[in-house]
Amino acid sequence: MTPGQPPRAETLADVAAANLDDWRARGLWRSPSVFATAQRAEASLRDGAHRTDAVLFSSSNYLGFAEDPRLAEAAIAAIRTFGAGSGGSRLTTGTNELHLAVEAACARLTGYDDAVLFATGYQANVSTLQALAAACASAGGLTIVSDARNHASIIDGCRLAKASGAEVRVTPHRDVGAVARALSQRTTAHALVVTDGLFSMDGVCAPLPALLEVCREHGAWSMLDDAHAIGTIGATGRGLPEYFGVRPDIQLMTASKALGAEGAAVATNAPVAQLLRQQARSFVFSTSPAPATCAAITAAVEVLESDPRPVQRLHANIARWYANRGEGAIDPAGAGPIIPVHVGEEDAAMRASAQLLERGFIVPAIRWPTVARGQAILRVTLMATHTPAQIDALCAELAALGIEGYMSA
């Protein structure tokens, strides 16, 4: 470069291409599966003109609601009445009676005073944490204590909360003692403990009763992201609060998993709900969920409340899976449908996933950075729509691959 001359500017495409080359070289490239069918137990993948039929063991459609005709009919009726789009953000032109119906249904399901609808669970977590931090900034400050394996939306919410003045302390996974120490050492007037309910990668539940006891001892608030537990944990699928018989200050539920639609609701007391409606940025500044989405969520909640069979079928399938592993009797209402099958090396997990697809099973390999290096897993998710024979067959294939702990029933 000649002195005094500006450096040659790389194009944006050049920078992106170089980054992607490095990303691929580090083994981080992911290619999404393309589905040609609904997220049902027997599904099809499409790769160009080639179509592969297989049993789907990777969906969060835990209860089979995504293809339930009761939800589809409600969504179609909503489109005919209200159109395809919502028309704006909730505080301008984007609220209609279907939004109010969703929030009332979610509050009723979880047993809280109120619930606030967001377009996604990601938005709900990010905006709730940021709004609480901002509200506490002039009232003595807020310390947020977050589990090390919390979802990325909580992590990003903590980062935004920190920018709004909050202190953030990350504690080891499910370590109640570490949470207590973090709360005892805080320098702010207020504190919030936030945790996933059913952790999405290792499939274990948060120790909610112990966490709430620590919160009581230290005058802290509690927030539970129950995304994967709604519809799956508890005798009637109302999540960890139902299963443990306790109630956090805030319970986040998503509609994009067991409820078969999309979006999320933050269930809490009335003042906090109104705070979110006024100050949660993704609520205030995002276009509201479409009418069809709202109607589908309300229908899903009503089905969950009135028809126990989908939850019962899911729990039976969870029990059968653990029976195949020779673990004897378990409580399927507290076990959850996420099964991490530990493989270890990333290449081995990728090979196992490909071999399973060849044998008719869709089971993704999860690797770094989602999980730690050298701790890759096959992530199995069970649905109410799986048959006992399909579950037995996958366990037999895992055993045939030499994965320890699996056998045919």
Mean pLDDT value of segment 200-215: 96
- What pLDDT score was predicted for residue 408? 45
Is the Cβ–Cβ distance between 227 and 253 less than 8 Å? yes
% pLDDT > 90, the chain: 85
In the predicted model, what is the mean pLDDT of the chain? 94
409: pLDDT confidence band, cut at 50, 70 and 90? very low
Active site residues: 200, 228, 257
**Of 375, 383, 381, residue with least CA distance to 346:** 375
Query: Does 101 score more than 70 pLDDT?
Result: yes
% pLDDT > 70, the chain: 97
- What pLDDT score was predicted for residue 48? 82
- Render pLDDT for 352-379 as a digit per residue (tens, 0 to 9): 999 999 999 999 999 888 888 888 999 9
- Render pLDDT for 212-240 as a digit per residue (tens, 0 to 9): 999 999 999 999 999 999 999 999 999 99
Q: Which CA distances in Å does 63 have to 71, 194, 307, 373? A: 12, 26, 11, 32
- Render pLDDT for 319-335 as a digit per residue (tens, 0 to 9): 999 998 877 779 999 99
- What pLDDT score was predicted for residue 394? 96
| DSSP code at position 290 | P
- What pLDDT score was predicted for residue 305? 98
Is the Cβ–Cβ distance between 64 and 40 less than 8 Å? yes
CA distance linking residue 170 with residue 281, whole number of Å: 24
- What pLDDT score was predicted for residue 8? 73
252: β partners: 225, 266
CA distance linking residue 291 with residue 110, whole number of Å: 22
- What pLDDT score was predicted for residue 33? 86
Is the Cβ–Cβ distance between 205 and 332 less than 8 Å? no
- Render pLDDT for 281-301 as a digit per residue (tens, 0 to 9): 999 999 999 999 999 999 999
Question: Which contiguous run of DSSP H or E holds residue 99?
Answer: helix 97-110
- What pLDDT score was predicted for residue 404? 66
Residue with tokens 């069979």: 309
Mean pLDDT value of segment 6-18: 87
Q: Which CA distances in Å does 282 have to 126, 174, 273? A: 8, 29, 14
The residue ranges of DSSP E strands in 59-166, in sequence order, are 114-118, 142-147
The residue ranking higher by pLDDT, 191 or 402, is: 191
Mean pLDDT value of segment 113-141: 98
**Of 65, 37, 40, 30, residue with least CA distance to 51:** 37
Tokens read off for 87: 């028309």
CA distance linking residue 277 with residue 283, whole number of Å: 6
Query: Does 95 score more than 70 pLDDT?
Result: yes
- Using a cut of 0.85, tell me whether the model's pTM lies above it: yes
78: pLDDT confidence band, cut at 50, 70 and 90? very high
- Helices 152-163 and 121-136 meet at what angle, rounded to 10? 30
Mean pLDDT value of segment 99-110: 98
CA distance linking residue 56 with residue 67, whole number of Å: 14
DSSP string across 356-369: HHHTTEE--EE-TT
Is the Cβ–Cβ distance between 279 and 135 less than 8 Å? yes
